[in-house]
Amino acid sequence: MSFFKKLKEKISQKTDAVTAKFKDGLTKTRDVFVGRVDDLLHRYKKIDESFFEELEEILISADVGVSTVMELVDGLRSEVKKQKIEDPQQLKPLLSEKLVGLFHNQQLQSGLNIEEGRLNVIMFVGVNGVGKTTTIGKMAHMLKQQGKKVVLAAGDTFRAGAIEQLEVWGQRVGVEVIKHQAGADPAAVIYDAISAARSRGADILLCDTAGRLQNKVNLMEELNKVYRVISREVPDAPHETLLVLDATTGQNAMSQAKAFGEVTKVSGIVLTKLDGTAKGGIVIAIAGELNTPVKYVGLGEKMDDLQPFDPEQFVHALFAGLMEEYDEGNSLDNP
Amino acid sequence: MAFESLANRLQATFDRLRGKGKVTEDDVNEMMREVRLALLEADVNFKVVKEFIAKVKERAIGQEVLKSLTPGQQVIKVVNDELTQLMGGEQSKIALASKAPTVVMMVGLQGAGKTTTTGKLAKYLQKQNRRPLLVACDIYRPAAIKQLQVLGEQLKVPVFSLGDQVSPVEIANQAIEQAKAEHNDYVLIDTAGRLHIDEKLMDELKDIRATVNPHEILLVVDAMTGQDAVNVAESFNQQLELSGVVLTKLDGDTRGGAALSVKAVTGKPIKFAGMGEKMDALEPFHPERMASRILGMGDVLTLIEKAQANVDQDKAKELERKMRKAEFTFEDFLEQMAQVRKLGPLDDLLGMLPGMNKVKGMKDLKVDEKALNRVEAIVKSMTKEEKQNPELLKTTSRKRRIAHGSGTSIQEVNRFIKQFEEMRKMMKQFTKMTDQAKKKKGKGLFGKFPFMQ
C-alpha cells in the first residue's frame, strides 16, 4: 500500500468535522504551497540546478527554515543522481515523501499532560503580540467544554490592559480570573492563583505571562522566577509550558523556541494565526530542528478556533492536492 | 540560532581565494550564494533577494570588484551600498498638515504592536510640544480600548473612545471634531489588527480613510515577520496607500529582513523603529544600520563613521602616542572616556561590533553606565598632580580623600587604580602587537578604543 493511502486511511478514521476545520484554516497555505510545487513540476522538462533553486525558494517562501530546506534539497539532489531521475514528474512521490518525512521526527502525542485528581498547571510563554492571552481564552473554553474546572491567572501585569483582556475572556468563557494590580510581581500573582485554584478545587490553572523578547536577560529571569514558583508550589508543575508562536514569524521562531526552552522547559508549542495568511512552514522547521511538539494551532478569531495539532492531519491538509494527483497518477501507471 | 555572520562566511571563501591572485566570475558566484543564504536566513523575501543578488552581481563582475586588490572587502562594500540604497535614505519625519489637526492612522496585523506604537508616537510628538489626541478604534479585541486609555493616562494624553458598540468610522469622525474643538494638533487613530485578506475588515479601514482623509497611514510591522511580510505590506499598500512603515520589536535578536522586504515592495519609507518596552523607545529608523544588521556584519560601518565624526582626530593621535610610551595618565583616561561616551551608550557600541555577540560571555554583557559614572567621579576627585602622575596614589591618605570626594569607598578606589595599572600594562603589550601587525595591515579600530576590548 502506498504511503499516502495509509495516511489517508488513518485520517478518514478521525472525525470529519475536525479535518474540515483544519482544511479550511489551511486553505491559503495549501493553495500557495502545493500550487507552486505543482506548477514547478509541470513547468520543468528536465531536472537541473535552476529547478532545485526554485524548489528551494518555494520552501523558503513558506518560512521553512533555511537549513531544513538546504538539507532536504541536498537529499533530493543526491537521490536524483543515484536513481538517474530526469523527469520532474517522477520526482513528485520522492518530494512528497521527503516533506512528510520531516514530520516523523515530531512526537505524535499532541494532547496535554492533564491528569484527573490533581491541580494541573499550564504556563504560557512567548514574545510580545503572539496571542498568549487569546490562546488562554480559547483553551479555557475548550477545557471547560470538556467538563473541567478552569481558573485563569493574570500573570501579565506589565502590558497596559492585559489583565482586563484576560478578564473579558474569563467572562466570555465563564471561568474565574485571579489577578493583582497592574505592575504587581507576576510570581506573586501566580502564587496566589495556585492557592486560589487549590481552595476552589480546580482541575486546571492556566497562567498568562507578559510577552517578552527572548534576548532581554532580566525579563527572562523574571519568567524563570515564575517558573520556579510554580514548580515549588505544585510538585511536577508546570505540567505543561506552552510556547506561543506567531505563524507569520520567520527564522526568529527558532531563537524564541530555544531561549524560552532554556528558562522554562517548554513542553509544547501553540502556533497562532495560522489561518488565512500564515504559511505554517515554520511548523516544518520546528519539527525538523527542534524536538518540541506542536500541540495546538490557532485557526481564527473565534472562541473555538483553537485546534489540537495533528501532524498527520496537517500534512494531509497541506499536501491534499499533491496526494490526490499522486494517487491518480499511480492508478494510471499501475492499472 | 547559529547564524554565522556573512562577514565570517565570506571570509572563508576569500581565504581560499587569497592564493589565486585573480578572482573569476565563478568565485563571485560562490560569494553571491553566501550573500543569498545570509539574506534568506535573515527573512528577506526570496523575490527581493533574487533581484538584489542580480544587481550586486552585475556590479561585482563589472570592474569594481575583480580588479580590486581586496575583492572580499569590495563585495561587502557593494552589498552594503546596494542594501543601504534599497533601504532608502529618507529622513523619518512625520507629516504635518497645513491645517491642524494632522491625522495619523495606524494599521497592521494582529499583535504587530499598533496600540503600543500609537502610545509611543504620542510621547514622541509630546516631546516636540505637540498635543496629540489618541483615538480608540479597536472595538474588537477585548480590552484594547482599555489598553489605549491606560497608555493615555500614563502619558497624560487625552484618549477618545465611544466604547465598542459604535462603528470605527463614526469614532474616527467624531474624534476629529473633538480634536478641532479642543485644539489638538495631532489625531492618532489606533485601529484593530486584521489580516490583509479579510475583506470586510479591510473595507472598514478604507471607510475610515475615506471619511477622515488621514495625512499619514502607517503600517505597523513586526520586525520578526517572515516571508509573508511582503504579501502583508503589498496588500495593505494597495488597498490603503500607505505613507510609511513602523518596524516594531527591533530590540529583539531578529535580523529583521522583513524591513528590506517591506521597503522593496511598497517603496514606502520606514519612518520609525520600536526599540523597547518603554514609551520613549521609539526611534527614527536608520536604513544604513539596518543594512548591516540584516547581513550580520554588526554595525561596524556606522561605528567607523560615528567614530570619525565624533572623535577629535588630533586628540586621538596624541592619545595614541601617549599609549605607546605608556605615558597614559588619569587625565587622558578621562579624556578618552568622554570621547567614547560621545558615541552613545556603551551597550549599543558593543552591540555594533561584529562578532561581539559570539565572544563567550559577551552576549549578555551589560555595561553598567552607573559604574562608569563612579569611575569618572573617582578620577575627578584627584588633584591635578595625581591625575598626571599615577605614582602618587600609593599613599592611603590620598586614597581616602579621593574616596571621600567621589562618594565611593577606599576599596573601590583601590580596585580602580589596580585596573588602571593593568590597563596601562595591557596598552604597552597591545601597542607592541599592533606595531607588528602594522607591517601587514593598517591600524585597527582597537588602536583608538582601548576600552572596547
Interface test with B, best of A74, A128, A260 (most B CBs within 10 A): A128
Higher pLDDT, B103 or A249: B103
Name the residue among A158, A169, A249 with its Cβ closest to that of B142.
A169
- CA-based nearest distance B228→chain A, Å: 6
Count of A–B CB contacts within 8 Å? Answer: 147
- CA-based nearest distance B411→chain A, Å: 28
Tens of pLDDT, residues B25-35 = 777 787 788 78
Strands A306-308 and A294-298: antiparallel
Binary contact (A213, B151; C-beta < 8 A):
no
Is there a binding annotation on residue A131? yes
Binary contact (B143, A248; C-beta < 8 A):
no
For the residues B225-253, what does the mean pLDDT come to? Answer: 90
- Residues of chain A in contact with residue B277, where contact means CB-CB under 8 angstroms, are 158
SS3 content of chain B, % helix, strand, coil (to 5): 60, 10, 30
Task: Give the lowest-confidence range in A204-213, B9-18, B378-387.
Answer: B9-18
Which of A165, A216, A186 has the alpha carbon at shortest distance from B277? A216
* Mean pLDDT, all residues of chain B: 78
- Residues of chain B in contact with residue A64, where contact means CB-CB under 8 angstroms, are none
Is pLDDT at B395 greater than 70 in this prediction?
A: yes
Name the residue among A57, A169, A216 with its Cβ closest to that of B46.
A57
- Residues of chain B in contact with residue A273, where contact means CB-CB under 8 angstroms, are 109-111
Name the residue among B148, B197, B227 with its Cβ closest to that of A63.
B227
The reported pLDDT for the residue numbered B389 is 80
The reported pLDDT for the residue numbered A6 is 58
For the residues B437-443, what does the mean pLDDT come to? Answer: 45
- CA-based nearest distance B283→chain A, Å: 18
B410-418, long-range: CB < 8 A, 24+ apart: B412/B374, B412/B378, B413/B378, B416/B375, B416/B378, B417/B390, B417/B393
| A164, closest residue in chain B (CA to CA) | B143
Report ipTM (2 d.p.): 0.80
Cβ of residue A303 closer than 8 Å to a chain B Cβ: no
Binary contact (A250, B224; C-beta < 8 A):
yes
Interface test with B, best of A157, A217, A248 (most B CBs within 10 A): A248
Residues 6 or more apart whose Cβ sits within 8 Å of residue A187: A222, A225, A226, A228, A229
Residues 6 or more apart whose Cβ sits within 8 Å of residue A215: A259, B251, B252, B253
| B119, closest residue in chain A (CA to CA) | A160
Name the residue among B154, B249, B258 with its Cβ closest to that of A128.
B249
Binary contact (A167, B143; C-beta < 8 A):
yes
Domains and CATH numbers, chain B: 4-86 (1.20.120.140), 102-286 (3.40.50.300), 303-452 (1.10.260.30)
- CA-based nearest distance A276→chain B, Å: 7
Tens of pLDDT, residues B128-177 = 999 999 999 999 988 999 999 999 999 999 999 999 999 999 999 999 99
Task: Give the lowest-confidence range in A39-43, B264-268, B423-427.
Answer: B423-427
The reported pLDDT for the residue numbered B4 is 47
Higher pLDDT, A23 or B218: B218
Q: Which cell numbers hold the place of A283?
A: 511548523
Cβ of residue A160 closer than 8 Å to a chain B Cβ: yes
CA A106 to chain centre: 11
Name the residue among B142, B150, B252 with its Cβ closest to that of A127.
B252
The reported pLDDT for the residue numbered A107 is 54
| A218, closest residue in chain B (CA to CA) | B364
Which of B179, B191, B160, B204 has the alpha carbon at shortest distance from B97? B179
Q: Residue A251 and residue A64: Cα distance in Å, rounded?
A: 8
CA A31 to chain centre: 20
Residues pairing with B248 in the sheet = B222
- Secondary structure element (H or E) that encloses residue A245, with its range: strand A240-246
| B140, closest residue in chain A (CA to CA) | A301
- CA-based nearest distance A331→chain B, Å: 37
The reported pLDDT for the residue numbered B106 is 96
| B226, closest residue in chain A (CA to CA) | A250
Binary contact (A168, B154; C-beta < 8 A):
no
Residue A172, Cβ neighbours under 10 Å: how many? 13
Contact (CB, 8 A) for B310 and B320: no
Instruction: Note the pTM of the prediction, 2 decimals.
Output: 0.73
Interface test with B, best of A252, A260, A271 (most B CBs within 10 A): A252
Those residues of chain A that have pLDDT short of 70 are: 1-32, 100, 102-110, 276-280, 287-288, 312-313, 315-335
Tens of pLDDT, residues B79-93 = 878 888 888 766 668
